[in-house]
Structure 1
Amino acid sequence: MPSLSESNLFKPIQVGDVVLKTRLAHAPTTRVRATSDGVSTDSMLEYYSERAKNNGGLIIFEGTSPAKSFGGYQYQPFLETKRQVESQKKIVDAIHRNGSYVSSQLVHLGRTSLPLGKAVYFPFVGPSAIYVDDANKAAAKALGVELRALTKDEIKEIIKGFADGAKRAINEAGFDFVELHGAHMFLIDQFIQSSSNQRTDEYGGSIENRARFVLEVVDACIEAVGANHVAVRFSPYAEIQGGLGKNSEVSPILIWGYIFNQLQNRADKGKQLAYISVVEPRIQGDAEGDENDKIDFSWPRLFWKGVLLRSGAFINENHQEKLEQAINSDDKLIIGAGRYYTSNPDLADRLKRGLSLTPYDRSTFYKAFSNDGYLDFQPYGKEEDHTKDDVEPKPLA
């Protein structure tokens, strides 16, 4: 792979109050390596510390629920209790010591929260009582947990929960930014899309109404920690977990273009978000497909003038030209990488020096509470280290 050292990828960029040394970001990858009660582990500390070295860019910490009521997967990190906050602060401090910066990705799972029964991850809620699919419906009913629509009072509580989570992330754990997870059909996206939102009140129906929830969450977080610490992620073309993507009732350009425009209006009035993150059309969750490859996804720039983070299949030998063209043609662009950061802890250095990349192993991406496929990958020139594969991760607090 040719060196990218002379490209914009290795030029500094102002994001919020900080100046990143590179325009490469570690995209959020929730690898379920926390404890069963949501405390971050020493394995996570090592993973993120290694990827922050000789980098200077942005690391986006994995999907994190700011409250148990927001739902979550087993071994996913939470940011609610003192132990959970303290454990993440140790990771944030290590990333900062190694010269990089970090976002906390806050998520409410809504109807995608696994229906594990009333004792776990309850309530099981969404914008409307529309299940992801029949299998999800059958599993929930078998466990005595039925999906129900949120009340307006509950919506207000969730908005406050995001803001409270933002305060804990910025003021207590020390994150540089919070990234609101509005992608991949988690709760924010569930409100945006008509396949999951058939409400008849002010949160449903028109595009403006379906966008109301995300904009109110953004405004609450701006009020809580300042716009320069707030970001949001979207996936207009994702067709996973019930998302419509290109099959939306109207073009994604109209739906998300309205939201981007509303966020730009806030920027024009002095409330500029740190960045907006978008997922490329060809990426569907953790998979890659070619059928959406011809979609022209340049349109976010028609609406949003601030820093834009684009993630999805930029980092491999076949897409080198696409990466260089993208990064060199937009002076406010950051490129996100997830899968190749898993197997290349020194990814920034490899791209800068034109070194070959280690292939990733998809089979170990979600090997919960395990170091196998998580800590064994090494910097360029070093053999994989499997000595910790069978070592149990330990809580940091």
Structure 2
Amino acid sequence: MEIPMNPVFTSVRVGRYALSNRLVMAPMTRSRAGFDGTPGELAAKYYAQRAALGLIVTEGTQPSDDGQGYLTTPGIYTPAHIVGWRKVTSAVHDKGGHIFIQLMHAGRMSHPDNTPHHRQGVAPSAIAPGAGMFTATGMQDIPAPRALTTEEVRQTVADFRHAARSAIEAGSDGVEIHGANAYLVQQFFAPSANTRTDEYGGSIENRARFAIEVARAIAEEIGADRTAIRLSPGATLWGIDEGAEGPDLYRYLVAELDQLGLAHLHILHQGNEPLLSDIRKLWHQSLILNRPGRPRDQIGGDVASGLADLEAYGQMVLANPDFVVRLKADAGMNEADHSTFFGGTARGYTDYPALSARTDIGS
């Protein structure tokens, strides 16, 4: 009897692009950029090694000086950044891949020692996350951020717009807004981080406003079919608590974003299956689903069930540059080396062996 092909190996359209398969490289911070935010010399090799996936979503990339949180993360708002990212996108395109640069404003998840201007972080409200952050001098407590003024919120929307245009100039196929994992966009969603009394705080509609304005501005600038967003409904990292209204906020937000006709919605799933089902019904474009820790034998399950159009994978892709080949061959997978995730050299970045260097097919 012929074994049916896993549906993740079938082609799919996302925005304006026809992708060769439904496997996505999830965004993963690697902290290997220069101190000015320009992608490091090995970044082009790292991403090109993984170009066989249908879509690559890059590590979070700050849209401004204020947007940087961690040490040596890349930016996409200066001419030098554009030149650096162009090397990355060209290398991926030369291998036949597609790549979206993820735009990530860290908000209050920032330390002044890690940013170019060494200023206090900014956020919806002046509430510290109660967490520490690695800096060049070691771990330090994250100080309380400064609350953005209403005009500064609007300027931040403009910063995202500029960064999206810069990403396209750098050859990116599109951008994904980072609206997940306790960074600035999600900070606006959560009453624990947002106590504003202007049009960006209070009601569900007001707390969702910033995300919608960012998405609309970017769609106007580069096209909705090159604009995407990642969300993590219910995530509780670093003091984030979306409260009892959280699920209803996401239902409202997804319905509003759906009207923009964006390329994709990328969900980092936290386990609320009824909400995920509702999101699937509300969203009419491509939906990418990332289930952290998904076992290998369940790869393709969400596409097969119709719950998702594509599936995203992180650590397995990080450790296996030939992830697609290994899946098709039912080959063994390299284990990720956690000690090399952030910062460093080629070790644990571009030196994971491919199948051609091993004899583990069928193992």
State the TM-score, normalized to the length of structure 2: 0.90
**2:304 aligned with 1:336, yes or no?**
no
Find the residue that maps to 1:336 and give its secondary structure: strand
**2:193 aligned with 1:206, yes or no?**
no
Kindly indicate whether the alpha-carbon contact (under 8 Å) linking 2:102 and 2:176 is maintained by their aligned counterparts in 1: yes
Kindly indicate whether the alpha-carbon contact (under 8 Å) linking 2:109 and 2:142 is maintained by their aligned counterparts in 1: no
Query: Of 274, 281, 284, which aligns to 2:263?
Result: 274
Residue 47 of structure 2 aligns with which residue? Answer: 48
Query: Of 340, 344, 347, which aligns to 1:369?
Result: 344
Residue 249 of structure 1 aligns with which residue? Answer: 243
Residue 29 of structure 1 aligns with which residue? Answer: 28
Give the share of equivalent positions with the same residue, in percent: 33
CA displacement at 1:159 relative to structure 2: 0.4
**2:153 aligned with 1:155, yes or no?**
yes
Structure 1 residue identity aligned to 2:215: V
Say which is worse superposed, 340-349 or 235-244, in terms of deviation. 235-244
Structure 2, unpaired ranges of 5+: none
Find the residue that maps to 2:112 and give its secondary structure: coil
CA displacement at 1:254 relative to structure 2: 0.9
**2:347 aligned with 1:348, yes or no?**
no
Find the residue that maps to 1:341 and give its secondary structure: helix
Residue 133 of structure 1 aligns with which residue? Answer: 130
Aligned length: 353
Please give the per-residue CA displacement for 1:323-345, whole angstroms capped at 9, x wherever unaligned: 33311122861100110111100
Residue 284 of structure 1 aligns with which residue? Answer: none
CA displacement at 1:164 relative to structure 2: 0.6
CA distance in 2, matches of 1:16, 1:202: 31
Kindly indicate whether the alpha-carbon contact (under 8 Å) linking 1:34 and 1:369 is maintained by their aligned counterparts in 2: no
Query: Of 280, 285, 290, which aligns to 1:306?
Result: 285
CA displacement at 1:228 relative to structure 2: 0.5
**2:97 aligned with 1:100, yes or no?**
yes
CA distance in 1, matches of 2:261, 2:226: 9
CA distance in 1, matches of 2:37, 2:98: 22
Structure 2 residue identity aligned to 1:370: T
Structure-2 change in CA distance of 1:34 and 1:134 (3 Å): closer
Residue 263 of structure 1 aligns with which residue? Answer: 257
Query: In angstroms, what is the RMSD of aligned CA positions?
Result: 2.6
Structure-2 change in CA distance of 1:119 and 1:17 (3 Å): closer
Find the residue that maps to 2:45 and give its secondary structure: helix
Please give the per-residue CA displacement for 1:39-91, whole angstroms capped at 9, x wherever unaligned: 11221111111111xx2510011100122122232211111221111110111
Structure 2 residue identity aligned to 1:309: I
CA distance in 1, matches of 2:16, 2:119: 37
Please give the per-residue CA displacement for 1:317-371, whole angstroms capped at 9, x wherever unaligned: 3xx23x33311122861100110111100001111221121111222211x1322
Higher normalized contact order (CA 8 Å, seq sep 6+, divided by chain length): 1
Structure-2 change in CA distance of 1:15 and 1:331 (3 Å): farther
**2:349 aligned with 1:378, yes or no?**
no
State the TM-score, normalized to the length of structure 1: 0.83
Kindly indicate whether the alpha-carbon contact (under 8 Å) linking 2:48 and 2:88 is maintained by their aligned counterparts in 1: yes
CA distance in 2, matches of 1:331, 1:8: 12
Residue 7 of structure 2 aligns with which residue? Answer: 8
CA distance in 2, matches of 1:337, 1:104: 16
CA displacement at 1:185 relative to structure 2: 1.0
Kindly indicate whether the alpha-carbon contact (under 8 Å) linking 2:277 and 2:307 is maintained by their aligned counterparts in 1: no
**2:68 aligned with 1:75, yes or no?**
no
Please give the per-residue CA displacement for 1:214-269, whole angstroms capped at 9, x wherever unaligned: 0011111111111011000001122212222xxx42153211111001112x2xxx
CA displacement at 1:115 relative to structure 2: 3.2
Kindly indicate whether the alpha-carbon contact (under 8 Å) linking 2:109 and 2:183 is maintained by their aligned counterparts in 1: yes
Kindly indicate whether the alpha-carbon contact (under 8 Å) linking 2:89 and 2:99 is maintained by their aligned counterparts in 1: yes
CA distance in 1, matches of 2:341, 2:357: 21
Structure-2 change in CA distance of 1:371 and 1:149 (3 Å): same
Say which is worse superposed, 335-344 or 55-64, in terms of deviation. 55-64
Structure 2 residue identity aligned to 1:243: I
Find the residue that maps to 2:70 and give its secondary structure: coil
Structure 2 residue identity aligned to 1:253: P
CA displacement at 1:111 relative to structure 2: 0.5
**2:301 aligned with 1:325, yes or no?**
yes
Find the residue that maps to 2:250 and give its secondary structure: helix
Please give the per-residue CA displacement for 1:140-169, whole angstroms capped at 9, x wherever unaligned: xx9997522100110111000000111111
Find the residue that maps to 1:42 and give its secondary structure: coil
CA distance in 2, matches of 1:358, 1:90: 27
